[in-house]
Chains A and B, each alone.
Chain A
Amino acid sequence: MSGPGVGWYLIVAALLFGTGALGVMLRRSPLIVLLSLEIMLNAANLTLIAFARQHGSLDGQVFALVVMGVAAAEVAIGLGLIVAMARRRLPLDVDQASALRG
């Protein structure tokens, strides 16, 4: 049984990547920004898996598993930072994080 071609998967992945990139650039809450980063990584995962099926090799699938592990670690650190900021009563708003500028 043949499913949709690899092109369709790529279109979805590109849309996801664009959504994530826009989210990182436009949203103000650091939580949503972290979420958008995850969406970008998952867009890349979808691409990797689609191509792995197309080429019939397992490399891409293994890569996607590795990326999931890395993404989990990254989000753990991000949430830790946000908790540390919340405890110090710093504003949880990316636009207001502007003590450092010049």
Chain B
Amino acid sequence: MIETPSVDWLALSPTLALLAASIVALLAAVLVGPWLRKPIAAAAAFTGFGAATICAVVVYVDTERPAFVLEESLTRDRLAALAQVLLALTGAVVVLVSWAERRREEHGEYYALLAAAGAGMLFFVGAGNLMTLFLGLEWFSLCLYILVAFDRERATSLEAGLKYLIVGGFGSAVLLFGAALVYGATGELGFSQIAAAEAGGDAFLVAGLAMVIAGLAFKMSAAPFHMWTPDVYQGAPTSVTAFMSAATKIAALVVTLRVLVTAFPDESETWTIAVAVLAVISLAWGNLAALAQSDVKRLLAYSSISHAGFMLIAVAAGTERGAESLLFYLVPYAAMSVGAFAVVAARERELETDVRLESLAGLGWERPFYGIALWVFMLGMAGFPLTGGFFGKLFVFSAAYDAGDWWLVIVGVAATALSLAYYLNVVRWVYMRTGPELRVAPAGGSPPRDSALGVAVGAAVAVTIGSFFAAQPLLDLASDAASQLPF
């Protein structure tokens, strides 16, 4: 008899649920007839994301204090559990958005990859050492590379996939080299052991830290590591873009927060400045470039870069309040960005072309529900009251102010004012166009009924507005999660 290590299966259950869903969807692709593949694969992915949500909620409730799983390679705490709930809910909504995507075959593979990418993200947010960090990052990135290039008949989809693979692979290699240097400086891989073994001011450690931050910045598309984002968001199938914009950002930011706080507490003076600089560049570049865009997916891509800037302000605060404001910000942000891309997907399926600002003309009158929804998302991203985006920005700014970063608050407020220009421009195109500009009529007759997409958009609207009215309970959840980090 050999002794087997004890495994905390509950902590792993959200990831395992999605892996199981992925396997079922993949088996459906080979075992059942073509007409049944799509419903079975989609149902498996949806069930998997739902089951992962439930498991993550159980883990959240059940975790009184942080613990380690599998020889300290994974962390079980409320931060990971809360991020997993958010990621799994996002994934479930994306399954609904994907349902009516015009694609004749390979449904099984699509949903299997979606579930596998979700599983990788759920694994990633619980990373407890540099190896699981790299493994989790590559796990979901590899799935996303394929998903981006999934529409092989479109040249732009393939081009986006190749660009994402090259730039993403470059980012991963930078992160890996940084991890190797940190390992060299401390002799440890675990985040908490690195913090304990830290030799202050070691050049290897600082260089490694810088490369780890750069590698993660590639994934969260913070400027100046954002160059892939507009191309990939535009070229990828819109439902995949929705998933990437919300879920990748949640995963990358939560892990950035975790790595910096748990592994590098002694270097906090260095990394708060580095992160603040990234935040300022992202805010400036994202907002200025968004002003010049006419393709809606590109515009939303630049908007997501600027949102990465807002979230990095919260990380740069380096305090528990910063962490809790980041976690709160992610809730309305995920809903708004999935929702906005879902509306774009609806328009794209209706017109059967790329959605430019002109293609939105008259959307508010032709499809009142999608029009109002897009209006809500745009106002929410700009931070108007009655949407959760307002409290998200407010909490981030107050955390930064408390940490003494008043200059970040000024940059943030200026960026918000600037962003009004392009968010309101979208609303203007949706409603306030008359005469000849409204001629861009649907291709032929009424669009196919797509109730799954309607449900997805409705859910996103509900969360966007609900997170304004339920701000306090959400903030309590976030602060419970943030309090388990060693500040």
Q: Write out, one digit per residue, whether chain A residues 20-35 have a CB within 8 A of any chain B CB (1) or not (0).
A: 1100100000100110
Q: Evaluate contact between B166 and A88: CB separation under 8 angstroms.
A: no
Q: Which residues of A are found within 8 Å of B294, using beta-carbon distances?
A: 102
CB<8 Å pairs between A and B, sample of 19: A10-B184, A24-B166, A33-B166, A47-B177, A55-B184, A55-B187, A59-B183, A74-B165, A77-B165, A78-B165, A81-B158, A85-B158, A88-B155, A90-B155, A101-B231, A102-B230, A102-B234, A102-B293, A102-B298
A91 to chain B, nearest CB (A): 10
Q: Write out, one digit per residue, whether chain B residues 161-181 have a CB within 8 A of any chain A CB (1) or not (0).
A: 111011001101110110111
Q: Write out, one digit per residue, whether chain B residues 213-228 have a CB within 8 A of any chain A CB (1) or not (0).
A: 0000000000000000
Q: Which residues of B are found within 8 Å of A15, using beta-carbon distances?
A: none
B235 to chain A, nearest CB (A): 5
User: Residue A51 contacts which of B142, B155, B184, B298 (CB distance < 8 angstroms)?
Assistant: B184
Answer yes or no: B415 CB below 8 A from chain A CBs.
Answer: no
The residue on A at minimum CB distance from B186 is: A55
CB neighbors of A among B135-172 (8 A): 135, 138, 142, 145-146, 149, 152, 155-156, 158-163, 165-166, 169-170, 172
User: Residue B184 contacts which of A47, A62, A78, A102 (CB distance < 8 angstroms)?
Assistant: A47
Q: Evaluate contact between B231 and A66: CB separation under 8 angstroms.
A: no
A66 to B139, CA, bound (A): 12
The residue on A at minimum CB distance from B158 is: A85
Q: Write out, one digit per residue, whether chain A residues 21-59 have a CB within 8 A of any chain B CB (1) or not (0).
A: 100100000100110010011011001101110110101
A96 to chain B, nearest CB (A): 10
Q: Evaluate contact between A37 and B138: CB separation under 8 angstroms.
A: no
Q: Evaluate contact between B162 and A97: CB separation under 8 angstroms.
A: yes
A94 to B166, CA, bound (A): 10
User: Residue B177 contacts which of A17, A33, A60, A102 (CB distance < 8 angstroms)?
Assistant: A17
Q: Which residues of B are found within 8 Å of A70, using beta-carbon distances?
A: 134-135, 138, 142
A45 to chain B, nearest CB (A): 8
Known contacts A59-B189, A73-B138, A73-B142; A82/B162 CB under 8 A: yes
Q: Evaluate contact between A51 and B231: CB separation under 8 angstroms.
A: no
A interface with B by C-beta (< 8 Å): 6, 10, 17, 20-21, 24, 30, 33-34, 37, 40-41, 43-44, 47-48, 50-52, 54-55, 57, 59-60, 62-63, 66-67, 70, 73-74, 77-78, 80-82, 84-85, 88, 90, 94, 97, 99-102
Q: Evaluate contact between A40 and B160: CB separation under 8 angstroms.
A: no
Q: Evaluate contact between B166 and A47: CB separation under 8 angstroms.
A: no
Q: Evaluate contact between B173 and A20: CB separation under 8 angstroms.
A: yes
A95 to B161, CA, bound (A): 15
Q: Evaluate contact between A63 and B130: CB separation under 8 angstroms.
A: yes
A23 to chain B, nearest CB (A): 10
Q: Which residues of B are found within 8 Å of A78, using beta-carbon distances?
A: 162, 165, 169
Answer yes or no: B131 CB below 8 A from chain A CBs.
Answer: yes
The residue on A at minimum CB distance from B233 is: A100
Q: Write out, one digit per residue, whether chain B residues 15-41 have a CB within 8 A of any chain A CB (1) or not (0).
A: 000000000000000000000000000
Q: Write out, one digit per residue, whether chain B residues 284-306 have a CB within 8 A of any chain A CB (1) or not (0).
A: 00000000111100100000000
The residue on A at minimum CB distance from B173 is: A40
B406 to chain A, nearest CB (A): 35
CB neighbors of A among B250-302 (8 A): 292-295, 298
A30 to B29, CA, bound (A): 30
Among B188, B189, B230, find the residue whose CB has the most chain A CB atoms closer than 10 A.
B189
Known contacts A67-B134, A88-B152, A102-B293; A74/B169 CB under 8 A: yes
Q: Evaluate contact between B155 and A24: CB separation under 8 angstroms.
A: no
Q: Evaluate contact between A44 and B173: CB separation under 8 angstroms.
A: yes
Q: Evaluate contact between A51 and B166: CB separation under 8 angstroms.
A: no
Q: Which residues of B are found within 8 Å of A37, using beta-carbon distances?
A: 166, 169-170, 173
Q: Which residues of B are found within 8 Å of A44, using beta-carbon distances?
A: 173, 176-177, 179-180
Q: Evaluate contact between A74 and B158: CB separation under 8 angstroms.
A: no
Kindly list the 8 A-B residue pairs having the minimum CB-CB distance in the complex, ordered from nearest: A40-B173, A51-B184, A47-B180, A55-B187, A100-B231, A44-B176, A44-B177, A37-B169
Q: Which residues of B are found within 8 Å of A51, using beta-carbon distances?
A: 180, 183-184, 187
B153 to chain A, nearest CB (A): 8
The residue on B at minimum CB distance from A59 is: B189
CB neighbors of A among B293-330 (8 A): 293-295, 298
